[in-house]
Amino acid sequence: MHANKPENFEQNVSEALSQPNLKAVIRRTTDKAEAKRAEAIANFPEFENARIQGQKVKDHTIKYMAHYLAEFEKNAKAQGAIIHWASDAEEASRKVLEICRKHEAKRITRSKSMLGEEIGLSHALDNADIDRVETDLAEHIIQLAGDPPSHIVWPAMHRSREDVIKLFRENHKDPTYSEEIIELVRSARRDLRTKFLTADIGISGSNFLLADSGSTCTVTNEGNAELTTTPPKVHIVTAGIEKLVPSMAHAVPLLRLLTRSATGGEITQYITFHNGPKRQGDVDGPEEYHIVLVDNGRTKMLSEGMEEMLRCIRCGACMNHCVVYKHIGGHAYGSVYPGPMGSVLTPHLNSLKVANKQTHACTLNGRCEEVCPVKIPLPKLLRSLRAKSWEKKYEPLTNRFFLKGFAFIAKRPALFQLFSSCGVIFMRLFSKKGWIRSMPMTSGWTRNRDLIEPGTQTFMQQYKKMKKAQK
């Protein structure tokens, strides 16, 4: 099982890069997601307008969050919901466990929820000796494997079909001996179906919280959320407070953005709005309905000028397009949230001192901001966190020494050009057939990839030569 600790980032990256098949498995899914998203957006001319609408909806709700939280609580209670407030992850998990103990729950089913992962709910339930059943197919796979999620949309992205076949044959009571995907899915369905029907409590997340109706909304592709929340007598929703939107009309542009950005589909298979417990005359549904609203660093982000990150609708587009994520996968980040969005969130959910290395796991090429459906300026936020890390002296002394040296040279053009010229000559000494396999002070790069040979002239030398030729 993966260590899943952000402070182990450098070690995690080395381990990820040493796995020969990991990059191929990750690229297989992310490249497909990237292509499908591009196709979906090409067929949706209103996409840019929807992005602007989505950004405005989220910014407005975040600005008036206290008002909409109060409105949501009032309307959800009117629907029969029991509201719980949690300031941090530990409190959120404790409140869920209290509900489970009150009902003497022996088995719970859980629909995929990154908020549940964030608050450590899986471990809390396991430690309480409650039979936890993950009902999302990918979550079912990683539960059998003992893995944490490696992606927020495709948690089992790091697992190959061969891995899944082995896991199902070892763990399913009635496994398939076919290697066809449809038969593997049927095997999972057979294993999970009775567990859906015998669960005491169902736990789900929520993609959106509608303030004007007190409704919670889940967006899924498998229907597992509906089977998780309908048969049990108790339904518990765990949701971050930033999931608020004022009304259904405000949720619609975000729904149009979410599926296209996440999977490249026009719309997902299941969009369900939950409106309290079963009423008189209803044929099914829970008898008791709880909503646990979680802060866990979100109001802190507001006070620290990181409110733009609270727009995030958890689509995963930023990591699908991230050149770093495609090389190392999600586990290397050592956090629930990997990729660019995770590099901003983790320092606030954990601490900047522990997670400052993740803020440097970015080339700042801007691709993540370009594809973000709600226009989160991720490179700007990452630069801000890097600056804070520098101010608080969390960077290694060697980094501080070299950067101060670079700043001294860069402020003196003649000296900078001299060093650049010497650098080009020095680098070419280690070149073979156009590539540098090793060179002093570059092991961080050349340990896992070759460095391309530089040109014979620096940029400034080439620029001066071009200007001279133009005269």
284-340: pLDDT as tens digits: 999 999 999 999 999 999 999 999 999 999 999 999 999 999 999 999 999 999 999
Q: Is the per-residue pLDDT at 4 higher than 70?
A: no
Question: Using CA atoms, how far apart are residues 255 and 265, in angstroms rounded to an integer?
Answer: 11
**Could you tell me the two tokens for 338?**
């990997």
- The residue assigned the tokens 């076919």 is 178
Q: What percent of the chain has pLDDT over 90?
A: 77
Instruction: Say if residue 207's pLDDT is above 80.
Output: yes
Q: What pLDDT, on a 0 to 100 scale, did the predictor assign at position 6?
A: 85
How much is the pTM?
A: 0.90
Closest CA to 210 of 269, 258, 266, 252: 252
Q: What is the pLDDT of residues 233-267, one digit of tens each?
A: 999 999 999 999 999 999 999 999 999 999 998 88
360, two tokens: 């440097």
Contact call for residues 292 and 87 (beta carbons, < 8 A): no
Judged against a pLDDT cut of 90, whether residue 445 lies above it is answered with no
Q: How far is it, in rounded angstroms, from Cα 403 to Cα 395?
A: 11
- Alpha-carbon distance of 471 to 455, in angstroms, equals 24
User: Residue 243 gets which letter from DSSP?
Assistant: G
Q: Which residues does 9 contact at the CB level (< 8 Å), separation at least 6?
A: 332, 333, 334, 355, 357, 358, 361
Confidence (pLDDT) at 2: 46
Both tokens of 36, joined, read 């499908």
pLDDT tens, position by position, 18-42:
888 899 999 999 999 999 999 999 9
Q: What is the DSSP string of 48-112?
A: HHHHHHHHHHHHHHHHTHHHHHHHHHHHHHHTT-EEEEESSHHHHHHHHHHHHHHTT-SEEEE--
For residue 218, report the phi and psi dihedrals to the nearest 5 degrees.
-115, 140
Averaged pLDDT, 111-118: 95
- Residue 265's contacts (CB-CB under 8 Å, 6 or more residues apart) are 36, 40, 259
Average pLDDT on 217-244 reads 94
Across 74-101, average pLDDT: 97
Query: What is the DSSP secondary structure assignment for residue 333, as one 8-state letter?
Result: G
**Locus of tokens 């209103």:** 46
Alpha-carbon span 87 to 74, nearest angstrom: 19
- CB-CB contact of 107 with 200 (8 Å): yes
**Distance between CA 122 and CA 321 in Å, rounded?**
29
pLDDT tier at 86, thresholds 50, 70, 90: very high
Residue 293: name the closest of 63, 22, 96, 34 by CA.
96
Strand pairing category for 270-274 and 244-245: unpaired
Strands 431-432 and 270-274: unpaired
